[in-house]
């Protein structure tokens, strides 16, 4: 292979930030690693996305305890990817909440996704032995929208459209206009689209834009603390997706094969996006999924550890 597989070259520890957005909201970010959101009411705490392992989640808990002693009653899974959910057991929450679509995806492909992501992210899963046997299962599911009262603070959990996955869920503080977007939105970080719906995702971003968030915690990248940066993140995510899918769709229309389309799309995207975190990691997966969607595979195919390596060798091999 001409490039190290996925994130195997990513070995440097990241600097963690724990940023206060309001008296009720905090963002745990780490230079492009997966983010965690913290929402604090008068009675309880909700954590949105949990980190990849219970050991990594302990640092989130330590920082939560620096600002509140209220119980962590709820964990929200914005979607099913292992790097987001396998820290859940560390929080000892009363409820693990996810959309019904996310629950169904765990049933359908959770085991394969676990093996796939552990293989892709050795640094993030460095304490993988701390993950309990089995999968992380939601204890409460919903479809469309539900509200959780944390004590004088209502949190709206919403599905606003398909994008990163079909089960994407946001957490929204309507009175404060603070949005926890999961991987529907990234900032200066490459969107992973291996399980995405390219044709739906831009409209989903439009739905988020209409909510006019004043602050936003993306799936990766720094917390965005003003409306201008929020709009830049929405626009940047949209531009990446439309640029990539447009290139792939045209390649398919021209009758080109996947490897040719990959090389041409990489060359198109690299000048603008090469400095975005995990660009080289995401591109083979994103182009493969875009190619599938452009050739009639409406629903993402399941990634396995074996499929990951085979695809990487096909597109990045000599």
Instruction: Choose among 200, 216, 219: nearest CA to 282.
Output: 219
Query: Using one digit for the tens of pLDDT, what is the confidence trace for 4-22?
Result: 999 999 999 999 999 999 9
Sorted by where each starts, the structural domains of the chain and their CATH numbers stand as: 17-316 (3.60.15.10)
What is the DSSP code string of 4-19? -STTTT--SPPPPEEE
Task: Tell me the C-alpha distance between 218 and 187, whole Å.
Answer: 7
Residue 38: phi and psi, rounded to 5, are: -130, 130
Q: Residue 259: which residues within 8 A CB-CB, separation 6 or more? A: 314, 315
The confidence band for 318, taking pLDDT boundaries of 50, 70 and 90, is low
How much is the average pLDDT of 255-273?
98
Res 111 pLDDT > 80:
yes
Query: Using one digit for the tens of pLDDT, what is the confidence trace for 52-89?
Result: 999 999 999 999 999 999 999 999 999 999 999 999 99
Task: Tell me the C-alpha distance between 82 and 225, whole Å.
Answer: 28
Beta bridge partners, 27, equal 19, 37
Task: Tell me the C-alpha distance between 148 and 204, whole Å.
Answer: 23
Query: Using one digit for the tens of pLDDT, what is the confidence trace for 200-235?
Result: 999 999 999 999 999 999 999 999 999 999 999 999
Query: Using one digit for the tens of pLDDT, what is the confidence trace for 190-203?
Result: 999 999 999 999 99
Tokens standing for residue 181 = 């977007």
Res 163 pLDDT > 90:
yes
Q: Are strands 72-76 and 95-99 parallel, antiparallel or unpaired?
A: parallel
pLDDT at 19: 98
pLDDT at 126: 87
pLDDT at 2: 67
The confidence band for 148, taking pLDDT boundaries of 50, 70 and 90, is very high
């Amino acid at each position: 292979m001409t490039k190290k597989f996925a994130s195997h070259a990513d070995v440097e520890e990241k600097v963690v930030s724990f940023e206060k957005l309001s008296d009720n909201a905090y963002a745990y970010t780490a230079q492009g690693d997966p983010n965690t959101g913290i929402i604090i009411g008068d009675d309880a705490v909700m954590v949105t996305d949990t980190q990849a392992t219970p050991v990594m989640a302990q640092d989130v808990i330590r920082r939560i305890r620096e600002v509140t002693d209220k119980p962590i009653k709820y964990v929200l899974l914005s979607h099913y990817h292992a790097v987001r959910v396998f820290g859940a057991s560390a929080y000892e929450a009363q409820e693990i909440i996810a959309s019904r679509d996310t629950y169904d995806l765990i049933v359908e492909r959770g085991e394969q996704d676990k093996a796939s992501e552990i293989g892709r992210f050795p640094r993030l899963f460095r304490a993988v032995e701390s993950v309990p046997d089995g999968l992380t299962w939601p204890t409460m599911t919903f479809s469309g929208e539900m509200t959780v009262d944390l004590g004088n603070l209502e949190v709206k959990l919403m599905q606003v459209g398909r994008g990163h996955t079909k089960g994407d869920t946001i957490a929204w503080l309507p009175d404060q206009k603070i949005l926890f977007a999961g991987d529907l939105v990234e900032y200066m970080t490459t969107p992973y689209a291996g399980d995405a719906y390219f044709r739906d995702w831009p409209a989903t971003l439009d739905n988020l834009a209409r909510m006019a968030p004043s602050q936003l915690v993306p799936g990766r990248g720094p917390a965005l603390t003003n409306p201008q940066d929020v709009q830049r993140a929405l626009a940047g995510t949209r531009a990446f997706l439309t640029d990539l899918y447009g290139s792939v769709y045209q390649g398919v229309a021209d009758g080109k094969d996947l490897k040719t389309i990959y090389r041409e799309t990489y060359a198109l995207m690299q000048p603008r996006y090469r400095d975005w975190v995990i660009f080289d990691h995401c591109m083979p997966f994103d182009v493969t999924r875009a190619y599938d969607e452009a050739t009639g595979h409406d629903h993402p195919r399941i990634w396995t550890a074996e499929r990951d390596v085979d695809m990487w060798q096909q597109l990045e091999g000599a």
